[in-house]
Every structure is written in C-alpha cells, then in structure tokens.
Amino acid sequence: MTTPFPFTAVVGQDDLRLALLLNAVSPSVGGVLVRGEKGTAKSTAVRALSALLPQVDVVPGCRFSCDPGSPDPACPEGPHEPGAGVERPARMVELPVGASEDRLVGALDIERALAEGVKAFEPGLLADAHRGILYVDEVNLLHDHLVDLLLDAAAMGASYVEREGVSVRHAARFLLVGTMNPEEGELRPQLLDRFGLTVEVAASREPEQRVEVVRRRLAHDDDPAGFAARWADEEAAVRQRIVAARELLPQVRLGDGALRQIAATCAAFEVDGMRADIVMARTATALAAWAGRTDVLAEDVRQAALLALPHRRRRNPFDAPGLDEDKLDETLQEFGGSEDDDPDPGPDGGPGGDGGQPAPDDGSGGPQGEESGGEPQPSGAGAGEQSAVRASEPFRTKVLSVSGIGEGAAGRRSRARTEHGRTTGARRPQGALTKLHLAATVQAAAPHQRARGRTGSGLLLRRDDLRQAVREGHESNLVLFVVDASGSMAARQRMSAVKGAVLSLLLDAYQRRDKVGLVTFRGSGAEVALPPTSSVDAAAARLESLPTGGRTPLAAGLLKAHDVLRVERLRDPARRALLVVVTDGRATGGPEPVALAGRAARLFAAEGVASVVVDCESGPVRLGLAGRLAGELGGTAVTLDELRADSIAGLVREVQGDRRAA
C-alpha cells in the first residue's frame, strides 16, 4: 500500500485545504469543486485528506457500510440488528472519467430477476463511497448524465436503481470532491450550483515557495514512510481538531444577524435560487466549529461567501469566475453591526490559523488573481489593418446539426445511438444485458412456449429470448469555425456583428456540449487561432482579440480547416464535424483565388463533411458569393439575420419548404 503525501505538508493552497476540512467537519456543506491548472496539488490534497478522516464503524460483512449504531432499514443486505461493529478507515473512492452508469450506481442482474424473481444486486462506486470520500478527477469531462446521478445521490444521501420494475435503494452519504482544469471545458451552470464550495488554485509565482514544493515532493518520493513520520504529529493534531469540530458543530449558533448578512450577500450578487443561502449558512457554521467557537461571526460569513458564491454568479460560460470583495465588504458592513452576532472571540481569536481567512498566497492568484490569461491586444496595425473590435451582444441561434445518426460522445446537437434516450428498436444483447426491451423479449419468447412445455399462465424465458433496447439520443460534435477577418469585412460595425454571431454560435456549442475550434484567415494566409478544445470560453477570448484587415485568402482558410479536421478524425473517429464558415464569400488572396477556393470547398463535399456558411454580405447590392460557396461545400447558407432562432425570414423559408414537401 502506497503512503499518501501528508495533508499538512501541502505547501500553500490555503483555500483548497480549508474547503476540504470544512466538508470533513460538516459533509452537509455539499462538497468541493477544485478548479485550476494542472500540477497544482489538487489530487494530492484530496488523497491526503482521506488519511485524516476519523475511522468509521461498520456492520460486519455489509457491503454498504451500514453504521452498526443506526443501520439503514432499507439496506439491500439488511435488516441489521443494532450492535457492535468493526472499525475501518474512511474510504476514498475514485470515479474514472470513462466509468459506466452501472459502475457508478451498481448493476442489477436482470436475467436472474426475470428467471428467478430475486434481486441480485452488485454495488457500485456510490455504495463503496458511503461514509467516505468520492473523488472525481476531471469532473468536467464526465458525461452529463453521470454527473446528474452522483449529484442527486449526494443531495439525497441515497442511490436508487430501477430497471424493468425491479428497484434497489441504499444509503450513499459521502464527501464529494471534483477537480477540473477550466481550459478543458466548463461544467454547466446547473451542475456548478450543485457543488457546495468552489476554490480556484494556481501554482505559486514566489520562487521560495516553489523551491519548498519541490523539496518536499522529492523527499516524499525518496522515502514516503520516513517523510510521513516527520509530519505525523501535525497530521494527528489536525485529525483531532476535525473530531472536536464535529462534536462542537451541533452547538454552534447561527444568529439572525448572520442570517441577514447571508441573505443580503446572496441578493447583492444576484445568485439564482436558495441553495447558495443554505450552503453559506452551513459553511459559516462549520467555520465557527473549526475555530472552536459556538457563535458565527461576520468573518465566518465573509469567508463562506468567498467559497460558496463565485461559481454561482456566472450567468454564462464567458463570465470570469470570482467575487468582487469590495462589494462583499460593503454588503456585510451595511447589514452587520448586530449585537446578536458580536460575541467575544473564541479561544483562537476568530477563525484564525488553518480555519480563518487564509493569508494571500504570494503570486498564487485567487478570485482576484494576478493572472489575466487574456490574449494580448495587437500592438500596431499595418496597411489596411485595424485593431480588434468588440463583439455585439450574443443571441439565441437556430439549431445547426449534422444529418444522419452518429455514435459519438453524448451531447445535445445531432442524433446518435446512445445508452440514453428514446427507444427506437431492439437487438440481441452483445455482452451483458443493460437495457431490456420487454416487449421484444416477450415477442421472441412467445412462439416457443408450447415446445417448452408451459402449462400455467406464466412465461418461460431463456437467455436467447432476451432483447437489448436500442436507444437514440444526441451526440456532441466538433464545431469548427472558419472566420473571415479580412478587409472585405473590416468595417468596425460589421465585424462587431460578425463577432457577435460567432459568439452566439459558441454559446450554443457550450450548451450542446460540443468541442470547438477556430480558424481565421486574413492578409496572406490562415492560422489555427484555437485548436479543437472543450473550452468555448477560450475560443471567445481569442475571438474578442481578433484583429482584421488585409486581403481575403479564402482557399487558405478552407485548406487549414481541412487539415484540422483530418487530424481530429485520427484522434477521435466517432466525433462528427460541423464546419461553420463565416464570410461574405469574397476571395482575393493568392493566385487564382476564386478557383482555388472552389477546389478547396469541394474537398469537404467529397468527404461528406456537414457545413454551413454564415453569409455576412451586406448592402443593397449582393453578389451571392456565400451562397455559391455553400453549394461548392455541399452545405447550406444562412444570413446573419436568419441565424437568429426567432428570425422571421428563417421561419417563412421553413414554412415554404414544408408546403413544397407536402
């Protein structure tokens, strides 16, 4: 068994350590989402926490870790009589990104249930994590339906498995910790809201602190047991403090003054719903218990806000996370000052030490961190070139999809054969049966009942009769934007509208769980402004700083996009591509620009790539070049106005098409 890195030996990352400890004190806080770049001790800190948790008593032999003092009356292996138990360490269970639904919630043996009438249930990871930690690394890459399942279990404290009339329920209370790198894509706001706390982590920019990180890491790798022994006293002290805070927690008083500050803060930052208020209240209470106090102070409310609100104030994926601390202080001061919330400080003089508001981590950033991560603005402009213009306001776009049925990653754009969705047919199972098609199974078995000697009213089933349901849902796609940034579209007002349209399409791609890429062309060539990624906010940042001007090398842009799609097909053959070309259709760069552009477009048509041309041509006289390009691509063309979901022109065209079809 490997020796984990000691929790108290982690350098810096005060917010991360505090958020984890608060959840260890009060699991009802709702878990932690850790956002940050790679190599910032996210996984190390989570794994180290499990060694600090007090041991748990379990019913001997129970696979669902029932508490012998108050066993779960609905335990699938119960009922258990209250009595003595056995002690074991709290578990840390890891949920891999590629896990199936059966691996997460457990699996019913449907064949035995139908043939023998017994509930044969194999527990999943939710059962293993009961009364411990469930850790999901790269939670933003987990399929949405799995995230929904684990967050529902975390909220209800129980997991339910129901299939074809067979139902199993078991307790599932755990500390949920998710880590993610925002560069690889964001979680949906609805899922972000389900995590109690969030912390942003970054590597320190202070040389001395980085030296200490390397020194401790190397010492641990050289002698894990010896390194852990040197930190044993600090680990034991924190473990004892967790136990003491848990015992003190029921005695902590949350006064009306603190509640008013919590409500006023949530209202001031316009967070949706009431979950933020509840999480803040529980967090502030846990902070007081961690500090050894029985009263919640204003500084507890402030720290709770910094942990519970930043991820809840994002209105769209392009909003930067974080909280305006000046506004927070003004709100707390305006609604503070009640004698009810100003008792004498506890033995620690407030939530100081590990439990207080952490001192700034030099160079490590934070909600108001120093790392902007933004794109540099162009320092100058050449002939026929202008600086970047801001995008106009985004809008809801029409649904652009890939025709046919795919088999790519789950999403919301195009039709696909998936494990989830509406049932469209049945087939013989290939491997373990997961989704039974009951009608098809009965139909397959019915003709053989006389030959099998059936005498009663029941139905005799054999394995050959079982049929797997074929389901159709939706997949995500790779949406590759090819944006004309040349002088033909360089009027500032026009480019602002073009950027607004692309930003709207990016927002649509975010909501449909797509990967996106961005190719731009202007001047003498084309470049990949953003390789295909799940981070649409990175694409939005590149788009915002995109300068314009110069000639229009349309062929170069299309050929660059063709290269990008070729490489992506090798990496992910199942993910289908949607090419979105944003241009007025002019081609002026290079020799024979029009002929070259036509040949480049026909490459996509020959390979069957789904494509849409967003026609940006304006003015009373229109040449129709974008429509001609769409014909060469084998795709369709829409104008900027028709791109809007509520476009009257688009609606008229659809109605006319329906009438012609009739």
Chain position carrying tokens 């070049």: 625
DSSP letters, 505-552, are HHHHHHHTT-EEEEEEEETTEEEEEEEEES-HHHHHHHHHT--EES--
- For residue 323, the one-letter residue type is L
Dist. CA 256–CA 266, nearest whole Å: 15
Dist. CA 584–CA 601, nearest whole Å: 15
Query: Maximum Cα–Cα distance for the chain, whole Å?
Result: 92
Neighbours of 150 (CB within 10 A): 27
Sheet with 410-418: list strands edge to edge: 410-418, 468-475, 422-427
Dist. CA 571–CA 444, nearest whole Å: 40
Whether 644 is catalytic is: no
Could you give the angle at which helices 14-25 and 298-308 cross, rounded to 10 degrees?
100
Quick check: 43 and 137 in contact, CB under 8 A?
yes
Dist. CA 36–CA 309, nearest whole Å: 17
Sheet with 32-36: list strands edge to edge: 92-94, 133-137, 175-180, 32-36, 197-201
Q: Where are the alpha helices (DSSP H) in 231-354?
A: 232-248, 256-268, 275-290, 298-308, 325-334
Dist. CA 367–CA 307, nearest whole Å: 10
Dist. CA 94–CA 46, nearest whole Å: 10
* Distant-in-sequence, close-in-space partners of 232: CB < 8 Å, separation ≥ 6: none
DSSP letters, 193-250, are TTSSEEEEE-----HHHHHHHHHHHHHHHH-HHHHHHHTHHHHHHHHHHHHHHHHHGG
- What is the separation, in whole angstroms, between the first and last Cα of the chain? 70
Strand-pair partners of 472? 417, 422
At 381 the three-state DSSP class reads coil
Strand-pair partners of 577? 478
- For residue 49, the one-letter residue type is L
Angle at 187 (CA atoms; ends 51, 469), nearest 5 degrees: 95
Dist. CA 642–CA 153, nearest whole Å: 43
State the Rg of the chain over Cα: 29
Classify strands 478-484 and 515-522 as parallel, antiparallel or unpaired: parallel
Quick check: 171 and 72 in contact, CB under 8 A?
yes
From 169, 205, 210, 275, active-site residue: 275
SS3 helix, strand, coil % of the chain, rounded to 5? 40, 20, 40
Dist. CA 291–CA 375, nearest whole Å: 42
The residue ranges of DSSP E strands in 111-165, in sequence order, are: 121-122, 133-137, 158-163
Active site residues: 275
